[in-house]
Structure 1
């Protein structure tokens, strides 16, 4: 069991933790929640003896961490998954920790299999992904088979399969009678993993209760009631009846009624007595995230503001492609096509509407304006004839210089060679 009594920690003029008292009992997964800067990491460092409290004390099994005999075999912790020498392999890292604590090498291979790193055990940790580093940190925490475990953001960087595995691992450890203390910002995971919650804000205790009690204490449960949409008078009638019975009724945007102050059976009886048909009558309970936000809304230190440049950029087409401005007689390529189709696929066919022959000036020979067909009898592929010029007299070759060889690539169109 972890027990903190009057725990206070100051760094100069800043008080990170103030008069914090709580207990983390074995056999349950205890979640440790709080906004950024609330003192969670400082508290966990004081539990592990890494920081000395300014006042108060914290014990594990009745003893301060520094006085525990062979502490790594009694307490396992994951505070920073990056606290690994990048040049060491996963197995070498764990083997060095095991040798310092008198743990047999066989246990190293066991925990590598537990966290799923047996295939990369001999790879250097500097090449590990964030999720692989998390698994290695969890393996280090499990190395001594401890009875007390502390995890700070254990699912950070893990894929869905890894998150599911960590969730089941913590539940299994707690079911074995161990003390499991988990700090996380993922409310969805805490809702399905933790049995008990300790919530702090600005270094002070805000809540210490079960997850179910925490949600009930920090949320307003209500009933959602819906009547036929085609009969708005039924909704108005029911609203009046429920209000007279002492309920507080609010109309939601979709036309449903949010009713508080009356249990569901009573709402059903009143609707039946008033001859009002109900399309929906369901209870609503806030999620852990909603309850947490309501509890900690006054203890948040870092709040975002509206972006002053929001909407400043001109709207673009999906994919960031700006629609080109069409010009008379010029062809603009269409946006990239889905499925890898070339961007010029579907261009206007030669001679069709909107096709401009390359190299022709607008309005010149062979030019077809956008949306117009070429002139009858005109070949858009024909090269416009150049202005006739008087033939230049053939120059005699200079003395000692042979005449240029004839171009053999030019043939008469009527020659047999060209016909072939």
Structure 2
């Protein structure tokens, strides 16, 4: 069993893990979940004695990892599948690990067969794909036939067949009474692999419960109700009756009604009393992914903003029409005459757009009501490239300061 008590780790003024306490029990697959930067890898490193905690303690079977006698035969781990000397053959890599831990050489061939690498045992690991590297890392974790196993993203780079194999491997190891601790970002895999979940966010414990309890605690079950789409008045009639009975009704984009606050038998009775035919009445429970997103939405450090590409396209003046296509434009040999010489017109500011770093060009990604980021310190402009001679470009053509790519043109 793995037990952490008040585990804390600080790097200078950065607190990666704070007062974290949990237990990982044998006989079950325990999933370790959390957003990027939440402290999962740091916690696993402290479990394996690779990092010293600032405060608190973590033990395996009652002992710190460094005090376990012949630890590689009691604990197996996959933290970084790339931590392999690229010039070594797969078998030689495992053989060196076995010799350091007093493990018989025949065990090397056994684990190579378990992970399916027996045919490439004498190939150098630098030529392995990401999935093959993952299999080699899993083989190293299984080498000592340990009772405690830790895996960090074990299905990374594996194909569907490999993912299914890892899933079954985890379950079989737990069924043998071993302690299996798995960190992953694939919610769909954790939903079908893990029995118990430990969820952390910003270094602190958010949840320590079974998968079923976690989903129930972080989601709202509802019923989907569908009436004949040819009779929209029946849907309105049923929605009113359900609301009268104390239910909360919302319309979905596909025409269904989402009903909460009423059990399915009660919804059926209300529809019968209102003389409304039902085409669908089904319960809906949130997935692990939905429950996880609800739980960790306040612990995410990196959030995306809306890519407002429309800001790159200036609106046409009132009454102006878009240019008409020219016959043959874009075809081989097509030639556009140079535009007439015109005076330079500075770009006009876009309403709601923040000024660029130099205050001249508008920022097309600025959002109304959102303050602009502080401007970067002005840097002296780079020396302009030598302008082409007059004979090198058509008369009246505007001088380009840099080549324009397809993305810039957009």
TM-score (norm 1): 0.75
Residue 358 of structure 2 aligns with which residue?
Answer: none
- The offset of 1:244, in angstroms, is 1.2
Unpaired segments ≥5 residues, structure 1: 314-323, 334-420
CA distance in 1, matches of 2:134, 2:214: 29
| Separation in 2, partners of 1:284, 1:326 | 56
Give 1:149 deviation, angstroms. Answer: 0.2
The structural deviation recorded for 1:325 is 5.7
- CA-to-partner distance for each residue in 1:35-83, whole Å, 9 max, x for gaps? 0000000000000000000000000011110000000000000000010
Unaligned runs of 5+ in 2: 314-324, 335-410
Aligned to 2:284: 284
| 2:75 maps to 1:90 | no
What's the counterpart of residue 217 of structure 1? 217
Aligned residues of 1:6 and 1:18 also touching (Cα < 8 A): yes
Q: In the alignment, which residue of structure 2 is the partner of 1:71?
A: 71
1:86·1:125 contact (CA, 8 Å) conserved in 2?
yes
CA distance in 1, matches of 2:310, 2:178: 50
Q: Compare CA radii of gyration and give the structure with the larger one.
A: 1
- Which residue matches 1:188? 188
TM-superposed CA distance for 1:327, in Å, is: 2.8
Q: Which residue of 1 aligns with 2:263?
A: 263
Name the SS for the 1:269 alignment partner. helix
**Alpha-carbon distance change, 247 to 332 in structure 1, aligned in 2, over 3 angstroms:** farther
How far apart, in 1, do the equivalents of 2:131 and 2:328 lie? Answer: 53
State how far apart, in whole Å, the 1-side matches of 2:242 and 2:29 are: 42
SS in 2 for 1:31: strand
Alignment of 1:34 with 2:34, yes or no, is yes
CA pair 332-249 structure 1, distance change in 2 beyond 3 A: farther
1: CA distance between counterparts of 2:158 and 2:173? 19
SS of 1:136 mapped into structure 2: helix
Is contact 1:326-1:332 (8 Å) kept?
no
Alpha-carbon distance in structure 1 between the residues aligned to 2:63 and 2:89: 34
Q: Aligned pair in 2 of structure 1 residues 163, 325: CA closer, same or farther (>3 Å)?
A: farther
Match of 1:130 in 2: 130
**CA distance, structure 2, for counterparts of residue 310 and residue 167 of structure 1:** 44
**Residue of structure 2 equivalent to 1:327:** 328
User: Kindly tell me: are residues 107 and 310 of structure 1, through their superposed partners in 2, closer, same or farther at Cα, counting changes over 3 Å?
Assistant: farther
**TM-score normalised by length of structure 2:** 0.76
Residue 349 of structure 2 is matched in structure 1 by none
Match of 1:275?
Answer: 275
CA distance in 2, matches of 1:326, 1:213: 66
RMSD: 1.8
CA distance in 2, matches of 1:56, 1:66: 16
Task: Give, in angstroms, the shift of residue 140 of structure 1.
Answer: 0.1
